Structure 1
Amino acid sequence: MTWHFTEDTAAFRTAAGAHLAAEPTRNTVVLTRMDGAARLGWWAGPDDRVAGVLAVSGAGDLDLGATTEEAARALASRPGEEPVRVRGETAAVEAYARASGRPWKPVVRMRLFRLGVPVPPDPAPAGRHRTAAAPDIPVVAAWTREFAAAIGDEPAEDYTGFAAERISEGRLVLWEAPDGRPVSMAAVSRTSEGQARVHLVYTPPAERGNGYAAGATAAIGRVAADRGATRILLFTDLANPTSNALYRRLGYRPVTDHLGAEFTGTAG
């Protein structure tokens, strides 16, 4: 029983492909991040059956996919495994944190949802959606910075490239008010293993309470389906009951809870 690591995405797919395919929804973060990951890993039991996967970002953050508590504890006991931030399903992250012996704190508690039967917003918001275009890059970049700050992340200085990538690939929609002003946005990941994940749902504070986020979310779900996604996912912050209720009304159903943990020191 051991963890294996590689920087080669093809090698990771060969070793962990059956596990990824068996649990694509629970492995959504690893699947969407593995092509840009600094390191990938899988945990194999005595029968060589994979029971855990992970992706490490360039900044050293650790994302766990569908991973057993046993595998998480084994990972924490490895010398040199001291990421500052770990994210994944709650039970696995808590098992990792406790086994590490390091002081830590929960930073965010999330819930993963999957779209069942789509339900149109009721009442329908005023205005319409449209696919974002190159002239929208400045406003999308500015809103992305606001979004990062709103969810407690340390915002980057410039999100121009981030916005341009999603817009150039047709993966971001804007909701326009009746007067043509953009008032909300939503994006979707590239489709991988038949699934895509909605993200970057944001409405500036002055425009909230009008149902614009519901319109943008429903629209980006249709975009994902049109692009071949058969499973459409999203994460919500459990501390935000408004968004959790919104997504349920749109037809999203809970899959599993996630935890983001931050380590504040070394093992005693």
Structure 2
Amino acid sequence: MKIYQLTAVQRVSTASGYLRLATESDRSLLIEWLSAFLSEIDQAVSEDVEHQVDNRLKEQNTYFWVDSTPVSVASGKQVLPTIGRINLAYTPPEYRRQGYATACVAALSQKLLEGMPPLFPNSRFSQSHSQSYLSSDWVSPHLRLAPILIHLKCID
């Protein structure tokens, strides 16, 4: 796993739509999409998917990118005061190559960045820069983080 320092998010996607928190009414869609995601990364899909979805809904950490209908999903949360984690990003095949995942992850990254305190609260640097760290646990080599996060520095 690598950890990246995020200092700013630059919107490079021109995808229309907006970020929306997943709700209980999205449960069946989340189960379907999480199952598809797990299949695509060669992870076993089990009955545990429903439990995972229920936890995500309870923790309110899963968001859809909506362009008249949900077209992409990402989960992320603040795990420590200056550390956020995005651990799911999925777009169904029929919505791919339209910038939806890029827009979704960028908006969620910005949301996480805005919710975190400055790294150095008593310095002049913190007055003009908010910083956080994002960790990625994507294990599949065919999944790539779109070029939406700028000013990243890998911290091994």
Q: TM-score, normalised by structure 2?
A: 0.76
**Partner SS for 1:243:** coil
Q: Which digits, 9 at most, give the CA deviation of each residue in 1:121-147, with x for residues without a partner?
A: 323211111111110111111111111
Larger C-alpha radius of gyration, 1 or 2? Answer: 1
Which residue identity lines up with residue 101 of structure 2 in the other structure?
A
Listed as ranges, the gaps of 5+ residues in structure 2 are: 118-131
Query: Would you say the 8 A contact 1:112–1:236 is kept in 2?
Result: no
Query: Would you say the 8 A contact 1:191–1:228 is kept in 2?
Result: no
Which residue identity lines up with residue 28 of structure 2 in the other structure?
P
Query: Would you say the 8 A contact 1:194–1:231 is kept in 2?
Result: yes
Query: Would you say the 8 A contact 2:102–2:148 is kept in 1?
Result: no
1:1-268 residue pairs with structure 2 within 5 A?
112-177=2-67, 180-192=68-80, 194-228=82-116, 230-237=132-139, 239-240=141-142, 243-244=144-145, 246=146, 248-251=147-150, 252-256=152-156
The aligned length equals 141
**Partner SS for 1:114:** strand
**Partner SS for 1:216:** helix
Aligned to 1:61: none
Q: Displaced runs of 4+ in structure 1, greater than 4 A?
A: none
Shift of 1:151: 1.1
Shift of 1:184: 0.4
Listed as ranges, the gaps of 5+ residues in structure 1 are: 1-110, 257-268
Shift of 1:164: 2.2
**Partner SS for 1:186:** strand
**Partner SS for 1:135:** helix
Quick one: higher RCO (CA 8 Å, sep 6+), 1 or 2? Answer: 2
